[in-house]
Amino acid sequence: MAWLQATIDSDSSVAERLADALMDAGALSTAIEDAWAGTDKEQPIFGEPGEPVDQLWSQSRIITLFDENDDPALLIAAAATACQLTMPSYKIERVEEQDWVRLTQSQFDPIRISDRLWITPTWHEAPEPNAVNLQLDPGLAFGTGSHPTTRLCLQWLDKQLKGGESVLDYGCGSGILAIAALKLGAASAVGIDIDPQAVRSSKDNAEQNGVQADFFLPDANPQAQYNVVLANILANPLRMLGDLLASHVKTGGRIVLSGILAEQADELSAIYNQWFEMDAPVFDEGWTRLTGTRRAQV
C-alpha cells in the first residue's frame, strides 16, 4: 500500500481554513508547519499553559496525505474553491508503505547525560552496561531526556544527590526525574502531574526500570515535605506555583526549576528568592535551570 503526499505552501491567514477544506474534500490527514522550518528564517512560536497560541507562522506549509487512488489535483482544487481561493501551487510525492515502528525507533539512540548516567530506549543495548541506565521510550508524556530542560535536571541529580533523599517531581511527565533520582540513590520519590496519561506513563516507566515510585494527580498529592523538589514545567505555572512548591521543601532542602527560557531567568529567580537562597542560573541551548536552598521557615 502507498499514499500520495501533497505539500502546499499557503499564506498563514488561510492555512487552517484550507487544511479543513482538504479534509472535507477527502484527504486522509493534514498538518500545518512553518514553511521555513530548518532554515535561518524559521519562526519559533511559544505558548504557555492557559495562554493558547493564536497565530501561525508568517508563511505556512500544509502537508496533506491522500489515498493512492485519489486525484490530488482534483481534491486540492475542490478545497481551494470551497475557500474561495485560487488554485495553490503544490508538490506531490509518493509515500511507500514502510515498517514505521522500525523507522521511528531508528531515530532514537541512547542519550548520554554524564559519564555514569544514560537514557536507553528498550530496543537498544545499553552502551555502558556498568553505568546507571534509564530505560525510557518516546511516548505520549513529555520527558525523554533529549530536551535541554530535562537534561539540565538530570545533570543536577547526577551531581548533587548524595543518597537517602526524599524527592518530589512536580509535573512529572514520563516520570524520568523521579526514576533517575531513585536509581541515583534517593530513598523515595513522588511524582505529580495534571495529566492522567502522564501518571499512567510514569507508573509504567517506573516498573520498567525496577524502581518503586508513587505518582498522583494534584488532588491526591500527599501533603509532605521533601529534601529535593524538582519542577520541569514552564515559566507561567512556575510563577503561580512558587508558594505551593516552597511549602513542599524542607528547611535546608533544595529546589530545582527548569522549563524556563534564558530571558526569563532573572524574573523567576527573583520570585523564588522569597523562600530560597538562589544559585546562579545554568543555561543550555537557550533554556535555564534555577536552583536554591530553602530558608528557615518563620
112 within some domain = no
Give the confidence band of 35 by pLDDT, cuts at 50, 70, 90. Answer: confident
* Whole-angstrom distance, CA of residue 63 vs CA of residue 91: 10
- What is the predicted pLDDT for the residue at 297? 76
CA R_g for the chain? 23
* Whole-angstrom distance, CA of residue 121 vs CA of residue 116: 16
Q: What is the mean pLDDT of residues 130-145?
A: 68
Q: What is the model's pTM?
A: 0.67
Which is nearest to 11 in space by CA: 54, 42, 57, 44?
Answer: 57
* Mean pLDDT score of the chain: 87
Paired strand residues for 112: 118
- What is the predicted pLDDT for the residue at 181? 97
Which DSSP string do the residues of 18-35 spell out, in sequence order?
A: HHHHHHHHT-SEEEEEET
Domain count, the chain: 2
Range of the domain at 45: 2-97
> For 47, which DSSP code?
-
* Whole-angstrom distance, CA of residue 255 vs CA of residue 276: 8
Q: Which of 1-5, 69-73, 290-294 has the lowest mean pLDDT?
A: 1-5
* Whole-angstrom distance, CA of residue 169 vs CA of residue 150: 12
Give the confidence band of 298 by pLDDT, cuts at 50, 70, 90. Answer: low
- What is the predicted pLDDT for the residue at 77? 95
- What is the predicted pLDDT for the residue at 136? 80
Give the confidence band of 159 by pLDDT, cuts at 50, 70, 90. Answer: very high
130 within some domain = no
- What is the predicted pLDDT for the residue at 2? 83
Q: Which of 28-42, 170-184, 212-226, 273-287 has the lowest mean pLDDT?
A: 28-42
- What are the backbone angles phi and psi of residue 167, rounded to the nearest 5°? -130, 135
- What is the predicted pLDDT for the residue at 135? 83
CATH of the domain at 173: 3.40.50.150
Of the residues 55, 70, 97, the one at which a domain ends: 97
Q: Is 259:226 a contact under the CB 8 Å cutoff?
A: no
Binding residues for S-adenosyl-L-methionine: 150, 171, 193, 232
Q: Provide the Cα torsion 193, 285, 48, 291; round to 10°.
A: 50
Q: Is 177:145 a contact under the CB 8 Å cutoff?
A: no
CATH of the domain at 84: 3.30.70.120
- What is the predicted pLDDT for the residue at 34? 84
Q: Is the predicted pLDDT of residue 101 greater than 70, yes or no? A: no
Q: What is the mean pLDDT of residues 37-41?
A: 67
92/161 same-domain check? no
> Count of residues for the chain?
298
- What are the backbone angles phi and psi of residue 211, rounded to the nearest 5°? -125, 155
127 within some domain = no
Residue pLDDT, tens place only, 2-13: 889 999 988 888
289 within some domain = yes
Residue pLDDT, tens place only, 52-62: 444 567 788 99
152/261 same-domain check? yes
176/71 same-domain check? no
Burial 23-34 (b: 16+ CB within 10 A, else e): eebebeebebeb
1 versus 174: the higher-pLDDT residue is 174
Q: Which of 101-105, 261-265, 268-272, 277-281 has the lowest mean pLDDT?
A: 101-105
117 versus 230: the higher-pLDDT residue is 230
Q: Is 163:188 a contact under the CB 8 Å cutoff?
A: no
Paired strand residues for 201: none
- What are the backbone angles phi and psi of residue 51, rounded to the nearest 5°? -130, 80
Amino acid identity of residue 252, one-letter, is: G
> For 187, which DSSP code?
S
Give the confidence band of 103 by pLDDT, cuts at 50, 70, 90. Answer: very low
Of the residues 97, 114, 137, the one at which a domain ends: 97
* Whole-angstrom distance, CA of residue 67 vs CA of residue 70: 5
Q: What is the mean pLDDT of residues 233-258?
A: 96
Paired strand residues for 43: none
93/151 same-domain check? no
Amino acid identity of residue 148, one-letter, is: P
* Strand-by-strand arrangement of the 2-11 sheet: 29-34, 59-67, 2-11, 90-96
Q: What is the mean pLDDT of residues 269-284?
A: 97
Q: Is 189:249 a contact under the CB 8 Å cutoff?
A: no
Binding residues: 150, 171, 193, 232
